[in-house]
Amino acid sequence: MTSSAFDPAKFIGRESEQALFDELLTFATAARILAIKASGGNGKSLLLEKFQHRCLTRYPRIPVSLIGLDQLPDDSPLSLVQGIAEDLTSLGITFDKFESDEYEMVAANFGGIRSAAYFQGANLSNARNTKMSATMVNTEHAGTVNVSSAKVPLTPEEEKLAHKYVIRSFFDDLHAYCAKKPVVIMLDSYDKSEPKLKEWIVKNFLERNFFSDTCESCFLALVIAGKEVPEFHLRLPKAVCDLKLLSVNELGRLTKSNVAECLRNHGFESYESHVLEMFYGIIESGKPVSQLVQAIQTFSADGRGQR
């Protein structure tokens, strides 16, 4: 879910956070996760868009997926995986096994899950062995076998198994790619995701892709952000957390020079000194960065402040 509205020229500050992200991209250590925990309105989402832009414009570029967990069509793990797959496919990664199994799921044609075959409309009474959809059916002692072209929907139990099967196929494909080349997945607004999805992210997504012993040989990195992030220390020893995890516990407050940079990025090459003080006062008062940017944009639209 890429952003087309991001303007890198209007991004300011966050040098320490960008340095941590660049460290993650080296894959030179065991670190594979950057967790960013910060209060609302301080620019977490904009920072992730900056990271995304960094991946896409470097050479060689790194395929990246940025998912807002509060923007998924539903709270199922499959929706999250499909969103990631869509982003990465658009950047040239192929997911052959995943796409094939996803098609089989949509077609309700999971032979590995179903033990029954449904036939109606064709008489095979004189047949011995018949191959249908790559499945050998022994009809030697059959009377009349009917074949149906109608799709029989998966039962809820079958659908649940199908989802797990398709998700596993996606990660098999992803790991095959990441064995040689890097990929970055970014999950925003973790605090706004449903409890069911949070549980899956921790117990399945993180465990399989980042907590296992084989993860260090995989070039897969994760950035996860929100007012809250997973409590990694409850699932991993401190020594392992120190190795695998880079953390930002609060985004630093912007400086006066950052505010001056923001003014320049919005077209203010020259202005009265009180203008800078006015806008820096927004930061000093503890207001979120989003309010600073909005105030400068309004100021710019009104044509005020420039000499």
pLDDT in tens, 218-243: 999 999 999 999 999 988 899 989 98
Report percent pLDDT > 70 for the chain: 83
Counts of helices then strands in the chain (DSSP H, E): 10, 7
Q: Decide if pLDDT at 44 tops 50.
A: yes
As a whole number, the mean pLDDT across the chain is 85
pLDDT at residue number 117: 42
Q: Which two tokens stand for residue 252?
A: 């630093």
CATH code given to domain 8-92+167-248 = 3.40.50.300
Amino acid identity for residue 101 in this structure: D
pLDDT at 61 over 80: yes
- Tokens of residue 207, six digits: 């465990």
pTM: 0.82
Banded model confidence at residue 12, pLDDT cuts 50, 70, 90: confident
Tokens representing 205 are 């997504």
Sequence ranges of the chain with CATH classification 3.40.50.300: 8-92+167-248
**pLDDT at site 151:** 65
Higher-pLDDT residue of 272, 150 = 272
Mean pLDDT of 145-171: 81
Mean of pLDDT values over 79-101: 96
Q: Mutual orientation of helices 156-178 and 77-89 as an angle, nearest 10°? A: 40
